[in-house]
Amino acid sequence: MRYFAIVKYDGSKFYGFQRQNDKRSVQNELEKSLSDIFGENILIKGAGRTDRGVHAKGQCFHFDTDTQISLNDIKKYINNKYSDLKIKSIKIVDDSIHSRFSVKSKHYSYKISFNKKDYDNEYVCFSKKLDIKKMQKASKLFLGVHNFQNFVSGTRDNYECIIYKIKFHHFGNKLKIDFYGKSFYRYMVRNLVGALMDVGKGKANNSTIIRLLESEKTDKTLSTAPAKGLTLEKINY
């Protein structure tokens, strides 16, 4: 049978989601605890990897086993054990549902603070004043289907994906940018935010972004936003 769970975690306490031999990761902790619960070796498959320092409110994973244990007992065991890692929900699903391959869309948010007191805050990125109107106009260039090779870290066979919507929420000394898309590749959201912040600082303009979207792989010219401002909010299936 297949168990499917939604989990949230404080990314500042982990070296990312992916399993690692000598570092504390979300996958390591979940597999270790689930193996203790079920009395067998449990391996989970996540909807995607979040990097070190990136938070999640709606990360998803599944695992298969022939052993049936109370869903409430599983949730209670994990949630009592960790203060920085919590299961929000868990259920048994059809084997055709896959945490990664069944994804229809993802929602990420990035939080920026203009308050100097938040310089060391692990949940927002501190920045000096930004021209938010220019950032909003530039963000429209990312909408739709594009080849994002100049906004992705590492090499892939395919860099094309679709962004459905980017929304800005400016309140007081805080700015939140929401990204909605089919899939996001390694460092992609952080690179998109970094590019928009460069526009907001006057270090780049719309022409710069258009050139990077339309050109072949180039040397990186725009910023990568810190991991700590990024949160995986929700995954839709």
Q: Is 223 buried (19+), middle (13-18) or exposed (0-12) by CB count in 10 A?
A: middle
Q: Is 11 buried (19+), middle (13-18) or exposed (0-12) by CB count in 10 A?
A: buried
Residues 6+ apart with CB under 8 A from 66: 1
* Whole-number Å distance between alpha carbons of 209 and 64: 43
Residues 47 and 233 sit within 8 Å (Cβ to Cβ): no
Residues 6+ apart with CB under 8 A from 152: 159, 185, 186, 187, 188, 191
Among residues 10, 51, 84, 178, the one annotated as catalytic is 51
Mapped onto helix, strand or coil, the DSSP state of residue 87 is strand
Pairing of strands 144-147, 230-236: unpaired
* Whole-number Å distance between alpha carbons of 168 and 114: 15
Q: Which of 100, 132, 108, 121 is nearest to 202 (CA)?
A: 132
Q: Is 51 among the catalytic positions?
A: yes
Pairing of strands 125-126, 105-113: parallel
CA 136-141-146 angle, 5° bins:
145
- Catalytic annotation, residues: 51
